[in-house]
Amino acid sequence: MKTEGLVSWAQARPFLEKTPRLAFDLEGDFNLHRYGRRICLFQIALDDGTVFLLDPLEEASGPSLWEGWKDVLEDPSKPKVIWAAQNDIRALKACFGIRLQGLWDLFDASCLAVTPRPSLPLLVESFLGVTIEKAEALQTSDWSARPLSAEQLLYAAQDVRYLLALADKIDPLLDEKKKREPFLARMQTAEDYVFAEHAQPWRRLKGASALVGEELDRLEVVWKRREALARRLDVAPWRLLPHDELLHWARAGSFSENFPVDPLSVAE
């Protein structure tokens, strides 16, 4: 089966359950365009060149209820070749409680065995002789909007198409460079990552550590107001009010001259 378009879980499931390994990636909207965290697309590639694009937003049941999907991702005997898996691991745990296992992070392998600052397009060109482009505009496009464009689908498929072949080239270098042990240690640490919501997320804003006393109290108040309104309007919080304006209000008790009217005073 060769496909690079959207398929249902029912179509992809037999192939994903029997494949000995797979390349994996996901696209999402994590407080970029809309409120909250959403996984918007799963991309999977197999050794025979098949590329599956699974759309969790089009599936009525959602990926957390796809029978067998969690089992595939949590099967430690089925390697998942991923480029820079850290964000994917966090998204899977935050959105669906999935603990990715069988991780083989191509980025980490390349850092250890090829170059400290690897680039996927450069590695694909160097090892496979193929030129690919990584369009930032597509990377940060609204993946929650439907329908997805032809350009988005091509971009998504490209993200996994070359990962398995590239892993086959780089894997032997881990032994040549005597980096197998530290690589496996990194993979275990990544798999063991535990996602937890920050108890006071407003304190994580850049610059918040310099606030004290009433300033911190005001920051908490305005942050919670922004969150409540962003959730109600289904918009990314920073699009309602930039982080630096929250800090300005915390210090001064008011917004800057850029916001003469309270942008958070939308009627309930």
| Structure confidence by residue, pLDDT tens digits, 200-227 | 999 999 999 999 999 999 999 999 999 9
55 in Cβ contact with 6 (< 8 Å):
yes
Q: Look-up: residue for tokens 């590639």?
A: 45
| Structure confidence by residue, pLDDT tens digits, 73-82 | 999 999 999 9
183 in Cβ contact with 109 (< 8 Å):
yes
Which residues are bridge partners to 25 per DSSP? 43
Judge residue 117's burial from the number of C-beta atoms within 10 Å of its C-beta, 0-12 exposed, 13-18 middle, 19 or more buried: exposed
pLDDT at 257: 85
Separation in Å, CA 109 to CA 56, 92, 145, 171: 29, 22, 34, 7
Instruction: Determine what percent of the chain falls in helix, strand and coil, rounding each to the nearest 5.
Output: 50, 10, 40
| Structure confidence by residue, pLDDT tens digits, 35-85 | 999 999 999 999 999 999 999 987 555 555 688 999 999 999 999 999 999
pLDDT at position 268 over 50: no
Cα distance between residue 105 and residue 84, in whole Å? 6
Q: How long a stretch of residues is the chain?
A: 268
**Domains in the chain, start-ordered, CATH in brackets?**
6-191 (3.30.420.10), 201-252 (no CATH)
pTM of the model: 0.90
Considering the chain, what is the average pLDDT of its residues?
92
Cα distance between residue 95 and residue 20, in whole Å? 26
